[in-house]
Amino acid sequence: MTKVSGKGLRWLLAEIHLWFGLILCAPLVLLGLSGSYLMYHDELDALVAGGPAFEVSQGVPQSVDAIIAVAADAAPQGFSLRMIRMPDGAGEPVIARIGPDGASFRDPRAKSIAVDPVTLDVLGEVVGGRSLLTGIMHDIHSHALIPGGIGRPIVGWLGVIMLFLCGSGLIIWWPKLRKLWAALTIKRGARGLRLHRDLHGAVGFWTLIVFTIVSFTGVYIAFPNPVASLMETVLMEERSSPPGPPVKAAEGVPEMGLQDAVRLADTVVSDVDFVQAIMPFRPGQPLRVQYNVPGSAEGAPKVTVMIDPWKIDVVKVEDPRAFGRTDMAVAWQRPLHAGVGLGPIWNGLVFISGFLPLLFSITGISMWWIKRRARQKRGRAA
């Protein structure tokens, strides 16, 4: 049996790296660009909608209980409060989502209103919502425009391929020690093949950690249970117990309102700041009341109280202050992927990472094409 040399293995890895990149460049580029867009879709949608800018009074906000009561009273007959979210900072309104009784807050008949947290005045309806472009970008990034539960795993496997491209690219790029600095930089005046190679290698190295984290967290979002189990193995610690069986609507029993839910959640948490309360997204999910831990960065994992709104019972409390290694790692997956929780620098790095597949596709395809033409010229000259 012929022994395969290290050079032969590296060549094989380079070939796989090349053809994965060539064949899948379009979906990988779309996945990256849509992710960068979605980081700022709220601001872009508000800009397109051109809705009113609400003026909020200066002063001390009223109690959360009073704010929720006003928002709930604003719901017309047959509607109820489905979500309430406190402002991110002073001078911003409370946003309440009002929809048909028993419906998700995402129900198309629902509407959002703004409430002044100081005066408790209802300021009006929030105009706009998700734009068509944002809807398309969300569908690309979450399920590759493929409905029916098939698209999410496809996006997850694209994330796995991104991780492979990260690892294989590092191995292929790895230079000899005397050439390390040249491999880490872009040669001044470089053109043609040298420019594309320098951009591909140097940018790939300097962005490797961010790109790997964004890709890995994307795989987690697509395959949460398998990836969480892998984390348990690597970190040698099991997660806390799951919340139990799905909650189930009881026939003839009305669901509890958000005001009562927040009052119940307040009895099982302390030293926290209320952020939002949301009725279940879909059947089987609990009502969720979330709080910020004082001093934590915006977007960091929140304290979450899960409630069965029909049994009026707390199902589970997730408090990052009590998390072990694995629970903390799992809790940070979505914030890291969304570019939140670690301040503006991380936010900017994650935004830039969405453009990396485009850069790598351009430079990778250019290198392949230049080399291919050179081989053809040599072949004709022979």
State the chain's mean pLDDT as an integer. 90
pLDDT of the residue at 1: 43
Structural domain boundaries in the chain = 6-40+133-141+151-235+350-381, 52-127, 252-322
Rounded to whole angstroms, the maximal C-alpha distance in the chain is 86
- Residue 42: pLDDT band with limits 50, 70, 90: confident
* Tokens 């119940």, located at residue: 264
Is residue 131 pLDDT above 90, yes or no? no
* Cα angle, residue 160 at apex, residues 234 and 145 outer, rounded to 5°: 135
Cα separation, 362 vs 262, whole angstroms = 51
Read off the tokens for 286: 């609990």
Q: Check if the beta carbon of residue 203 is closer than 8 Å to that of residue 184.
A: no
User: Helices marked H in the chain — which ranges?
Assistant: 6-38, 41-49, 64-73, 132-143, 151-173, 180-184, 192-198, 204-206, 208-222, 224-235, 258-266, 325-331, 333-338, 344-353, 356-381
Is residue 13 pLDDT above 70, yes or no? yes
Strand partners for 95: 85, 114
Average pLDDT estimate for 227-235: 94
The pTM for the full model equals: 0.85
pLDDT of the residue at 186: 92
* pLDDT tens, residue by residue, 138-161: 999 999 999 878 999 999 999 999
Read off the tokens for 309: 């709104």
pLDDT of the residue at 205: 96
- pLDDT top residue among 255 and 107: 255
Average pLDDT estimate for 105-115: 81
CB atoms within 10 A of CB 196: 20
* pLDDT tens, residue by residue, 260-290: 999 999 999 999 999 999 998 777 789 999 9
Is residue 51 pLDDT above 70, yes or no? no
| Residue from 52, 59, 118, 124 nearest 95 by CA | 124
- Residue 295: pLDDT band with limits 50, 70, 90: confident
pLDDT of the residue at 105: 65
- Residue 382: pLDDT band with limits 50, 70, 90: low
Read off the tokens for 333: 């997956």
Write the DSSP assignment of 307-349 as a string of letters: EETTTTEEEEEE-GGG--HHHHHHHTHHHHHHT-SS-HHHHHH
pLDDT of the residue at 52: 62
Strand order in the sheet with 287-292: 122-125, 111-115, 94-100, 79-85, 273-278, 287-292, 303-308, 313-318
* Cα angle, residue 56 at apex, residues 55 and 61 outer, rounded to 5°: 175
CB atoms within 10 A of CB 121: 15
Cα separation, 333 vs 115, whole angstroms = 32
Q: Check if the beta carbon of residue 17 is closer than 8 Å to that of residue 169.
A: yes
- Distance of alpha carbon 327 from its chain centroid, rounded? 18
Between the alpha carbon of residue 107 and those of residues 28, 71, 130, 273, the distances in Å are 31, 18, 13, 28
* Lowest-confidence region among 12-26, 40-54, 217-231, 341-355: 40-54
- Residue 327: pLDDT band with limits 50, 70, 90: very high
- Residue 349: pLDDT band with limits 50, 70, 90: very high
- pLDDT top residue among 108 and 291: 291
| Residue from 290, 300, 321, 280 nearest 104 by CA | 280
Cα separation, 360 vs 200, whole angstroms = 6
- Residue 106: pLDDT band with limits 50, 70, 90: low
Strand partners for 288: 278, 306
Cα separation, 20 vs 164, whole angstroms = 9
Q: Which helix (H) or strand (E) holds 95?
A: strand 94-100
Dihedral of alpha carbons 272, 273, 277, 282, sign: negative
pLDDT of the residue at 243: 66
pLDDT of the residue at 71: 93
pLDDT of the residue at 102: 72
pLDDT of the residue at 2: 47
Cα separation, 355 vs 347, whole angstroms = 14
Is residue 28 pLDDT above 80, yes or no? yes
- Residue 36: pLDDT band with limits 50, 70, 90: very high
